[in-house]
Amino acid sequence: MKIGYKEVYDIYCRLVVHAESISWQRFHYLLVINSILILAWATLFKGDATPSNMIANLVMTGILFIGILTNFAWASLGERGRKYLDAYKEKAKRIEQDCDKQKWWEEEIEITDRPFQIHLQPATGTSSKFLLGKGPYFFMFLFIGLVIATWLK
């Protein structure tokens, strides 16, 4: 069985879609985890937590440190996921460009099916690379602020 460039191109297209889906799915999981941690903290903060209630303050601080560590790990996952996505896109783009140069291919990629040669620059701070790689740092700073609020109330 002969595998042509069309099959390889199709595989890279599927890898791009898969990498994109996995990245956003991970980010959604992060949002759920952060929501649960913030809700747990807020419940304790509003309830039993007083300056004299050291156990509640320690529990809230523990919850927030779990959030900080989780977001730190998730930032690395987001950046790694975007690197995979960029690598897959670059491979697919090179296949498209090679197809433009080579006339001898048995199977050509249709000129209208070359989406990886299209590049639209996103607005600053709105790219998926920025949101998925740097978004968790926002939550880390939020959790640090909540640690300060826990002990300064």
Task: For residues 64 and 143, give the distance between their C-alpha atoms in angstroms, rounded to a whole number.
Answer: 6
* Out of 5-9, 29-33, 109-113, least confident range: 109-113
In a domain, 66, yes or no: yes
Task: For residues 15 and 95, give the distance between their C-alpha atoms in angstroms, rounded to a whole number.
Answer: 14
Please report the pLDDT score of residue 40 as a whole number: 95
Contact residues for 151 (Cβ-Cβ < 8 A; gap 6+): 57, 61
Over pLDDT 90: what percentage of the chain?
35
In a domain, 119, yes or no: no
In a domain, 24, yes or no: yes
In a domain, 95, yes or no: yes
Q: Which domain holds residue 38?
A: 5-104+124-152
In a domain, 13, yes or no: yes
* Mean of per-residue pLDDT scores for the chain: 82
In a domain, 96, yes or no: yes
Structural domain total, the chain: 1
